[in-house]
Chains A and B, each alone.
Chain A
Amino acid sequence: MRRKVIIPLGSVILAVVIISSVLAGMALYKKAQIKDLEAFVSDPSNIAEYQQAKTNCSARDSKAAIYSQLQKAQKNKSSFPQATASLMDEVSSSLSSATVTGCTFDASTGTMVINIETSAVDDIPSLISGLRQISSFSAIDYTGYTGESGSYNVTITCMVKSSAY
């Protein structure tokens, strides 16, 4: 009877002791590791090396930020549609049978408005077709002409493709 009483109670006490031992063992093991870690992080040579490396990394990151800004500015600059000399040459050549009386361009919208004057009303459609052949234009808007007695004015709106595309 006495044995029957002691064994379960002893088991409970043993369980408490085992759990306590495990916890204490874990803590003691980590304490030993903490010593090693503390030795590493407080080592003056490691600290000096760390500080130097941190300074290097900080300088590198700063340079990377500058480079990123430059790239961003470069991208911004080249993202707009451009009315280049070669494009204007193409426009000029395709409108050679007419007289260019004005031309406006806005890079923010990519819109180029060309005003031409021609004496031959029959030539106007072929002039517009010529402009449509220019690959730098994504769209040509032609809505007609005005004029009389051998002089006709035409306004053509062209959309210049963005150089980014």
Chain B
Amino acid sequence: MFSKLTRREKVLIYIMASFIVVAVGLIFVIKPLASWNSSVDGKYQKLKAQKIEMEAVISQKTSSLEQMDKIQQNIQKTKKKFLKTMENEKTDELITGIVQESGLTPQSLEIGVSDTGTNAFSQSSQTVDSSGDTGSSSGTSSDNAAGSSEKTDTASADSGSVVTVDKVTVTAGGSFAQFIKLLSLADEEPGIRVSSFSVEGASVSDEVVGTTSGDFTVQIVFELYHADDSI
């Protein structure tokens, strides 16, 4: 029967048979094998990546501890440039102390949370007014207990922060030289920055204070940078 076919028909049948062989080979042999190979390769790549990651992490087991110690040392070193976290009465004590050491006479002090600096928390402030009497500043500080805890709560609400910035506004009376000494003392304290100040002549201060507090009335705004004690 095959011999009765013309040469052209034989060639066509031959091409068709070849096509069928290729198609069958592709569909039933190569494609499943390629698919299997691909899935095995996927699993292989995944495991290889996992092994590389594990090896990379394991290789850092000791070095990470050394790095952590080094970072901790740097943290401790940098922390010295900041103030410790403190309640408002301690802040009052610190700032009033500096003011008194400079020879200026404190008139008022207001502690709030700075809206500049690293962290901007919601504003909460309270006023300590010594009314020109330096001895009463510690007495009025105790009135701040409620206000202080409010501030602490606000700060701790942002658990990711390690630095809090307080704003302390102080008004004091004295001479220009005493004011310069105050700047010098503030400069010596870690974590204190003079944000702004205003020095005015005695004619203004006398009306406000009514005491012999000196030639000038000084209003100075400090920013206090506190580093979290737990770090």
Q: Which residues of A contact B197 (CB under 8 A)?
A: 83, 103-105
Q: Which residues of B contact A120 (CB under 8 A)?
A: none
CB distance from B69 to the nearest CB of A (A): 9
Contact (Cβ within 8 A) A63 B68: yes
Those of A65-97 within 8 Å (CB) of chain B: 66-67, 69-74, 76-77, 80, 82-85, 88-89, 92
Residue of A nearest to B199 (CB): A103
Contact (Cβ within 8 A) B195 A108: yes
Name the one of B33, B57, B78 contacting A74, with C-beta atoms under 8 angstroms: B78
CB distance from A89 to the nearest CB of B (A): 6
Name the one of A13, A84, A89 contacting B21, with C-beta atoms under 8 angstroms: A13
Query: What sequence of 0s and 1s flags, for each residue 26-53 of chain B, a beta carbon within 8 Å of any chain A beta carbon?
Result: 1001100110110011011001101100
Name the one of A12, A80, A102, A104 contacting B22, with C-beta atoms under 8 angstroms: A12
Contact (Cβ within 8 A) A37 B162: no
Contact (Cβ within 8 A) B47 A38: yes
Q: Which residues of B contact A101 (CB under 8 A)?
A: 200-201
Name the one of B29, B60, B79 contacting A70, with C-beta atoms under 8 angstroms: B79
Tell me whether A33 and B44 are in contact in the complex, defined as CB-CB below 8 angstroms, given that A53-B61, A66-B162, A73-B82 are known contacts: yes
Q: Which residues of B contact A100 (CB under 8 A)?
A: 176, 199
Interface residue SS majority, chain B: helix
Q: Which residues of A contact B21 (CB under 8 A)?
A: 9, 12-13, 16
Q: Which residues of A contact B64 (CB under 8 A)?
A: 53, 56-57, 59-60
Q: Is B131 an interface residue (CB 8 A)?
A: no
Q: Which residues of A contact B65 (CB under 8 A)?
A: 56, 60
Q: Is B117 an interface residue (CB 8 A)?
A: yes
Interface residue SS majority, chain A: helix
Those of B157-196 within 8 Å (CB) of chain A: 161-163, 165, 176-177, 179-181, 183-184, 187, 191, 193-196
Query: What sequence of 0s and 1s flags, for each residue 20-56 of chain A, a beta carbon within 8 Å of any chain B beta carbon?
Result: 1001101100110110011011000010011011101
Q: Is A107 an interface residue (CB 8 A)?
A: yes
* Size bracket, chain B contacts: 35 or more
Q: Is B12 an interface residue (CB 8 A)?
A: no
Q: Is B198 an interface residue (CB 8 A)?
A: yes
In the bound complex, CA of A50 to CA of B54 (Å): 6
Contact (Cβ within 8 A) A9 B17: yes
Contact (Cβ within 8 A) B200 A30: no
Contact (Cβ within 8 A) A88 B57: no
Residue of A nearest to B185 (CB): A85
Q: Which residues of B contact A105 (CB under 8 A)?
A: 194, 196-198
Q: Is A106 an interface residue (CB 8 A)?
A: yes
Tell me whether A20 and B44 are in contact in the complex, defined as CB-CB below 8 angstroms, given that A41-B50, A73-B118, A105-B196 are known contacts: no
Residue of A nearest to B43 (CB): A34
Q: Is B74 an interface residue (CB 8 A)?
A: yes
Taking A37-B50, A70-B163, A74-B82 as given, write out 8 further A-B residue pairs in contact, using a Cβ cutoff of 8 Å, ordered by the A residue number: A12-B21, A12-B25, A23-B30, A57-B64, A85-B187, A102-B200, A104-B196, A107-B196
27 A-B residue pairs with Cβ-Cβ distance under 8 Å, sorted by A, are A12-B21, A16-B21, A19-B30, A20-B25, A23-B33, A27-B33, A27-B37, A34-B47, A37-B44, A37-B48, A40-B54, A46-B54, A53-B60, A60-B65, A60-B68, A67-B75, A73-B227, A74-B82, A77-B117, A77-B193, A80-B193, A82-B187, A83-B194, A102-B201, A104-B196, A105-B198, A108-B196
